[in-house]
A and B are shown apart, each in its own frame.
Chain A
Amino acid sequence: MDDVSRRAVLGTMLAVGALPLVACGAGDGARTKVRYWNLFAGGDGLLMLQMQDDFRAKNPDISLEAVTLAWGAPYYTKLAMAAAGGRGPDVAVLHLARMPGYAPGHLLDAFDVDLLEEVGLDPAEFPPGLIERATVNGRLYALPLDTHPFVMYYNTDVAQQAGLLDAAGRLTPINGPDALIDALTRAKKVTGKHGLALDNLDVMPWRLFYALYRQLDGTLALPLGGSIGIDDAKALQALGLMRRLTEEGLATQGLDYAGAIAAFVNGDSGFHWNGGWETTTFSTAKTPYSMTRFPNIFGNARTTGDAHSFVLPHQRSRDPEATRASYRFLAHLIKSSVTWGKAGHVPAYRPVATSPAYLALKPQSEYRDVTPDVQLDPPAWFSGSGSDFQNQGGAAFQAVLTGDLTPQQGLDQFKGAVDKLLTTPSPA
């Protein structure tokens, strides 16, 4: 039976009595309403608030309702449900790697190129690799705002005392596993607690693993219906290093996200690995810090990441006025993404990424050359930031970090979980 007709039949059967009960949304009168969802719960959320306020001030005819939802699976679950219900927000943020799971055309509506032109946005001004991933069957379903790499923060005071800074006060590049261990050991001696504040929970172990694995030139194939293609030796090498960090007490063990942030803010750790989005948090907390690319440990400088993008969640009936206002809104955000760059994200829009204002942002713009090295998850309906795939990887490798599983066991668990995802029929 066709799904749509089945739901329609069900609807007619049950709706007869209930239809008059449907609530009518109260209109805002003259101003066009734009509802916008994002998941920026870190320090970058504060910058997003600034950009939103800026938009409101300059566009009094639009009433912007912006909401930040809890990051990760909760956000993506809500977004899918809202789009499936047909009353979703007008604009939402989506990690580009998540797009295949959102069934472009079903949960996402495509961008109208003419409207984009009207608000002065040209897809050619975005990194071609990102636009390629955002295009399905020739239609554009996502507009990238940034790429955001997994980076390294360091406490400048601790690094100074540990003798890790060069004459200019910058971190001496850490190249290779031995240099990493040495740097963390020295930082640990200074703090008396840990060298590295590392979130062991959720998806962070996956991010770390994938960065290391890709530095080893490991490839990851996700053939639907088949089984995972992964280089065991390289994966074990990456996992072995991860375990070494916690086993030797160089990195924190058992801390969650907020705990890792606190350990860095408190000065209990000299280093912190995370996305670049916590700059505001550390500045607000007056932590003496700086940041740089994720260290080059295994020979090429790759790192993990994703690209925040704007999407149009599916709506049962799309109001042309609201749609036009939505385009104006996202054009504003993209064009003013210098502010966004302060959060440690690298703006995707070329005119911004090459502007003097962005280049003047230090230390954020110093690693802008990272964009081609940022590794997104391999495309699959179940992969991408905060996805079940990352959750599976995070769970398996977290157990490796805490020593509950050996690297081999962790890898086996991950492969088993991914194989199951691969044989699961795609809902998209």
Chain B
Amino acid sequence: MATTISPAPPAPPATRAVPLWRRMPAGLLFTLPFLVFYLAFLVWPTVSSLFLSFFNESLTGTRGEFVGLANWTEMFGDSAMWSAFGNTVYFTLLSTPPLVLIGLVMALLTNRAMPLRWLWRLAFFLPFLLPASVVALIWVWLYQPGFGLVNDTLARLGLAEAGWLTEPDLAMVSVVITTVWWTVGFNFLLYLAALQQIPQHLYDAAAIDGAGWWQRLRSVTLPMLGRTTGLVIVLQLLASLRVFDQIYLLYQGTGGPNFAARPILEHVYTTAFTNFRFGYASAISTFFFVLIVTVSVAQLKLFPSSSNSSNSSKER
């Protein structure tokens, strides 16, 4: 930072005695610390991702020439990329409805007075507090054939055992079950907070009109939850599109049986850090980045009022 002592840079005469930070508007000084982080770790990587995608940069440090659009043309013809892309979309479509609906049902159930309510709420939310690694360790154990709890229970019920982690058709279903168990607590919490903010007088009025439980739900509760639902769906879509942790950990980075559960971020990860191709991985990242931002912008148009809240606070 420039000070009045340093004689080296001849400052303009008018401001000689005034240190640089004094000359800056106070507001800029307030925002500056944050902006430094923001520029260095969010804006710069975004720009550099696009930049890297034109180089054949490698983790081994042996390459780094400009290759023009080679990475991009390779990507659009890369069947592994498209199948990972398809898996990501499949996961998103499969996981979003239960994550929203079960969260809503849980909130509706525990918003009423009932014995041991704290315990039920705790049970629904607890898994969300676990790190992905713990979740994966537990579910790999549960999904084991023969001596896994899931298959053992199925067998006791007279049903057939399933190869949860080994059958390509089930590979993503298992991930969805695990994910719902793990993260539905967050949506539950959002709904619960929203329910608690519905004014009591609306219910009172409905009760005077003789509305039963079902009618109150339909005419008061659900309409009042409309904005929350929009928000939850949007956050969930964005979170599901970025799936990586639990899939990587459940299948130890192999992509699941015959790659049936390899999401796009794992493809990026494998390309960059297992096959060392930073340039190509950046092309895929940039492509996916544009896609996610497009989804975000689309939902901004669809849910104009509710969508500009946090979504980075939901990083799973």
Contacts and interface: CB of A to CB of B under 8 A. Distances in A.
Interface residues of B, number: 40
Interface stretch (B13-21, B197-205, B231-239, B274-282): B274-282
Contacts of A398: 166, 257-258
A202 B254 contact: yes
Interface in B115-133: none
B65 A395 contact: no
B58 interface: yes
A391 B258 contact: no
Contacts of B44: 14
Interface in B284-304: none
B252 A74 contact: yes
Contacts, number: 134
Contacts of B147: 262
Contacts of B165: 201, 256
Most-contacted residue by chain B among A6, A256, A258, A399 (CB, 10 A): A256
B59 A254 contact: no
B186 interface: no
Interface string B27-39: 0000000001000
B258 A427 contact: no
Contacts of A255: 145-146, 166
A405 B258 CA distance: 10
B134 interface: no
A125 B125 CA distance: 61
Given A3-B64, A4-B61, A395-B254, A80 B276 contact: yes
A395 B63 contact: no
B62 A202 contact: no
A301 B59 CA distance: 40
Contacts of A253: 163, 166
A77 B277 CA distance: 12
A402 B259 CA distance: 14
B40 interface: yes
B144 interface: yes
Contact of B277 (A1, A200, A262, A427): A427
Contacts of B80: 417, 420
B166 A201 contact: yes
A259 interface: yes
Contact of B62 (A18, A268, A427): A427
Interface in A371-408: 382, 388, 391, 394-396, 398-399, 402, 404-405
B60 interface: yes
Nearest to A410: B258
A254 B166 contact: yes
Interface in A1-49: 1-4, 6-7, 10, 14, 17-18
B66 interface: yes
A425 interface: yes
B56 interface: yes
A97 to B, nearest CB: 15
Nearest to B164: A254
B315 interface: no
Given A388-B274, A427-B277, A1 B257 contact: no
29 contacts: A3-B58, A4-B64, A7-B61, A10-B48, A73-B270, A77-B273, A80-B273, A81-B59, A81-B273, A84-B60, A103-B60, A106-B60, A254-B163, A254-B166, A255-B145, A259-B144, A259-B146, A262-B146, A382-B275, A391-B254, A398-B258, A402-B163, A404-B168, A404-B257, A404-B258, A420-B78, A425-B63, A425-B277, A428-B58
Closest 8 CB pairs of A and B: A3-B64, A254-B163, A427-B58, A427-B276, A254-B166, A103-B60, A399-B258, A106-B60
